[in-house]
A and B are shown apart, each in its own frame.
Chain A
């Protein structure tokens, strides 16, 4: 998992498969970066994600709640159409999800 931090904006490039097994490790790593950088904005880039189930939704929601606590902003970008359908189903009020 790669990340980029520039001018208060932390971008995390998620990869491969987001399921209950992988999300456990990823969650800790992302939260570590968030705590380290205390960003104004968190961007979750899903372009490298090939598969995601509801554990991925849990991961996104959890980071969203954390980012709100820090009074920061979060965006989710580059979800493929299959992953987009899952995000839409979840009915999360994600003003933060941007497509393409």
Chain B
């Protein structure tokens, strides 16, 4: 049973989004993983971190986001994105495809749909005024061809 992880603490600033993605995908590239699956994980991660910044903290960048990636036995990937922001009142509504709490800002409302489609499991734990924690897991199926 082997385990490796990386944990990033960052300000809830949308400018950090690309750096968080880059850091986590670079960490995951250490194992043998096909580009397509890495891109799926990268996209799901981007959605979770965007939600934390945009909805959790309403872009008040005093907030803190913890992003963690864990690799178990070189095949199971766990991503955790935690914020201490305003929380989600109605999780099932928030997870409805095409639902957006901010229709005026051109959001597609596809964040959770992408997370659920690209990862094996998505667990959302949220409390109003306390924060939200999203845990996503995926077992690697496609390896690099060589």
Interface positions of A (Cβ within 8 A of B): 17, 19-21, 27, 51-55, 57-59, 61-62, 81-82, 86, 89-91
Contacts and interface: CB of A to CB of B under 8 A. Distances in A.
Contact of A20 (B43, B54, B97, B114): B54
A52 B118 CA distance: 14
B107 A91 contact: no
Interface of B: 14-15, 17-18, 21, 36, 39-40, 42-43, 46-47, 50, 53-54, 97-98, 106-111, 113-114, 117
Given A21-B15, A21-B18, A53-B114, A90 B108 contact: yes
Q: Is the interface of B mostly helix, strand, loop or mixed?
A: helix
Nearest to A92: B108
Contacts, number: 64
A55 B110 CA distance: 9
A62 B36 CA distance: 27
Contacts of A89: 110, 113-114, 117
Nearest to A60: B108
A95 to B, nearest CB: 18
B113 A58 contact: no
A91 B15 CA distance: 28
17 contacts: A19-B21, A20-B53, A52-B43, A53-B43, A53-B50, A54-B47, A54-B107, A54-B111, A55-B50, A57-B110, A81-B36, A82-B36, A82-B40, A86-B43, A89-B110, A89-B113, A90-B110
